Structure 1
Amino acid sequence: MDYFIKTFNAGGAVMYPLLFASILTIALGIERLYFWTKIGRREKPMIRTVLDLYQSGSPLVIERLERDRDLPIARIFMAAIGLKDPTPEEFRLAMESEAHAEIPILRRFIDIFDAIIGLAPLLGLLGTVTGLIISFDSLKIGQSVGAGSSKVVGGIAEALISTATGVIVAVMASLCANLFRALYQRQMSQIQESTGQLELIHRRNWQQ
């Protein structure tokens, strides 16, 4: 523990915003992992059940959707199925409107990850510059070899540690952003497929 504290202190002032960025990345990453795990575990069984119930005309479909109302696709289905005698066009528009409303929830925190990806290396570079300034400031003309050597070493350490930390934080944020962006794209494909199936069932029922 003492080693990490010494290393952190050796990195200079920029280590504090980098520490905040790393904690933020980890916390938001855990929240998004929980969110997408919940969707991956419960969504497909719910979709199959709802499509079967709606096709059979069962009144239990609303009850089934209410049970999974915390899932985005359930809220999208509910927006259309909850309408009273909708035309196929109204049915489709209701799902499209709700799907657009769900996009910010599905993309949540991706912009924050992107911001950290851009800022963390810059903070590391700032630490590099300040560390080199300390090092060169300690090397004065006419000074003996041993004098100021500790400041030189300290400045170099600050430059290297802050740079490495900035890169590590940026890599963490990049992994999170790419993972959750891929899950978002897959979810949008799932929404398009499932809403298309539900709309087809509704059109067939409407024609009958």
Structure 2
Amino acid sequence: MKLLLPILALLLAASNTTRASSFDELLQTVKQQTHNELTAENTRIKKFVAEKKQQQKLLTEAKKKLQDLKKQSSLLNDEIEQNEKKLTATEETLQIKLGDLGELFGAVRQVSGELKADFSRSIVSVQYPQRLPFLDQLAQSKTLPDVKTLEQLWFYMLQEMGETGKTREFNADVFDTDGTQQQQQVTRIGAYALLANGLYLQHDSETNALHQLQKQPPARYQQAAQDFSTGKTSLAAITIDPTHGQLFNLLTLKPTLMQRISQGGMVGYIILALGAIGLLIAVFRFFYLNLVSGKIKHQIKHLDKPVDSNPMGRIALVYREYQDKPLNEREIALQEAMIKEAPAVEHYNGLIKLLAAVTPLLGLLGTVIGMIITFQTITLFGTSDPKLMAGGISTALVTTVLGLSMAIPLLFAHTFIVAKSRRILDIIEHQSVGLISAEK
């Protein structure tokens, strides 16, 4: 216990010494930091004062430079105004010196555009396709053309005029009717017709391509084209299209006879069927009556040898049968025999007459049906597109034509057959009366 007390006293003394040392160090540190901050602040103040003097100098220099730039800007503005005045004067001088050249430039562009439109429709461009890009470029040019360009334009104008009166042969790609393309030798007749292998060609102005016509002209024109292509004759008649293909286009739209008939619809087919039946009956009756007339003439020459293969022979047999009877009975028997023969001679005459009367009435019926279809189309779609009304109008007109076309020959045939029948009956009656008169 006595030892512990001195030890504790030593420890307390050491602790106080350490604490005093730490406080001195802290105080020294605070002094040092305060000194450093004051030094830094003084440095900043000195730097600020120095920079302030420098900024003032820079400000003075900037103001001076601004004044110089303002003076320079004023000089440049004056120079710009002078240049604008010079430019205006130069442009006026240019316009004066251009004079007719400006009008020439406008005229060249206008003529080039018009020629391009004309040449694109001309079949001559198929042989000389390089003309179209040249004219297109010249029409859109914004600079004055040179002399060489003007000479080329003049050359193309003369070339077009000259080629319209010449016949040329050249190779070109041709599209067949099935769409296949192959190179063929093409004959160009002026600016009016194109031929290849004896067939007429059509020029597409949009693509400058050649196509075979979907429908060639009639055979007589096509034969002339073949003779012209093969060169069989030095001079040959040839069909041309001065409208640059419009007539040939209309030709392809022209319907054939069967297409015309089909436009009549069901009524048209009925009219044709009835007309055909009537004409066949008329032809049959014509040959039949000719045969009967020949037999009757032969029988008249041989009344002593009557046969039952003809009306006159059958009447002669009846007369021979009643030859021993009284006269009145013989007359009655002959009249009955003539009456029996009349239906066979006049058979189908009424039917032919009926068909001749019915066919135009059916044509009128088709006309009414066609007009009804037309009015229904107008009600649904209006009158903006005439093609929509074409079907009804075609039915109306075609059925009328078919009805009249069948009625007219049937009427002539009926008149002829009736006259021939009446002539045969008159011969029979005359010969029958002659038999009785011979006995009196």
Q: State the TM bucket, normalised to the shorter chain.
A: 0.7 to 0.9
Percent pairwise identity: 22
Which of 81, 105, 130 is the equivalent residue of 2:320? 81
* 1:142–1:190 Cα change, 3 Å: closer
AA aligned to 2:427 is: Q
Q: Under a length normalisation based on structure 2, what TM-score does the superposition of the two structures give?
A: 0.40
Q: Do the aligned residues in 1 keep the contact of 2:359 with 2:404 (CA within 8 Å)?
A: yes
AA aligned to 2:322 is: L
Higher fraction of helix: 1
Q: How far is 1:39 from its partner?
A: 2.4
What residue in structure 2 maps to residue 13 of structure 1?
266
Distance 2:423 2:258 in 1: 41
AA aligned to 1:76 is: I
* 1:123–1:153 Cα change, 3 Å: same
AA aligned to 2:419 is: A
Correspondence list, 1:56-205, <5 A: 61=305, 65-66=306-307, 69-83=308-322, 85-140=324-379, 143=382, 145-146=384-385, 149-201=386-438, 203=439
Q: Do the aligned residues in 1 keep the contact of 2:293 with 2:424 (CA within 8 Å)?
A: no
Matched residue SS, 2:257: helix
What residue in structure 2 maps to residue 58 of structure 1?
none
Distance 1:193 1:142 in 2: 69
* 1:85–1:133 Cα change, 3 Å: same
Q: Deviations over 1:132-183 (max 9, x none)?
A: 111222223874723xx33311111111110011011111221121111111
* 1:153–1:90 Cα change, 3 Å: same
What residue in structure 2 maps to residue 43 of structure 1?
296
Distance 1:143 1:118 in 2: 37
Q: Do the aligned residues in 2 keep the contact of 1:81 with 1:91 (CA within 8 Å)?
A: no
Q: How large is the RMSD of aligned CA atoms in angstroms?
A: 2.0
AA aligned to 2:275 is: S
Does residue 22 of structure 1 match 2:22? no
Distance 2:355 2:301 in 1: 39
Q: How far is 1:11 from its partner?
A: 0.4
What residue in structure 2 maps to residue 56 of structure 1?
none
What residue in structure 2 maps to residue 34 of structure 1?
287
Q: Deviations over 1:44-65 (max 9, x none)?
A: 2321221xx3xxxxxxx2xxx2
* 1:142–1:162 Cα change, 3 Å: closer
* 1:188–1:142 Cα change, 3 Å: closer
Distance 2:301 2:332 in 1: 22
AA aligned to 1:184 is: S
After TM superposition, where is structure 1 displaced by more than 3 Å over at least 4 residues in a row?
140-144
Higher fraction of strand: 2
AA aligned to 1:165 is: L
AA aligned to 1:161 is: V
Count matched residues.
Answer: 186
Higher relative contact order (CA 8 A, sep 6+): 1
Q: How far is 1:20 from its partner?
A: 1.8
User: Which of these two proteins has the greater Rg computed from alpha carbons?
Assistant: 2
* 1:141–1:120 Cα change, 3 Å: closer
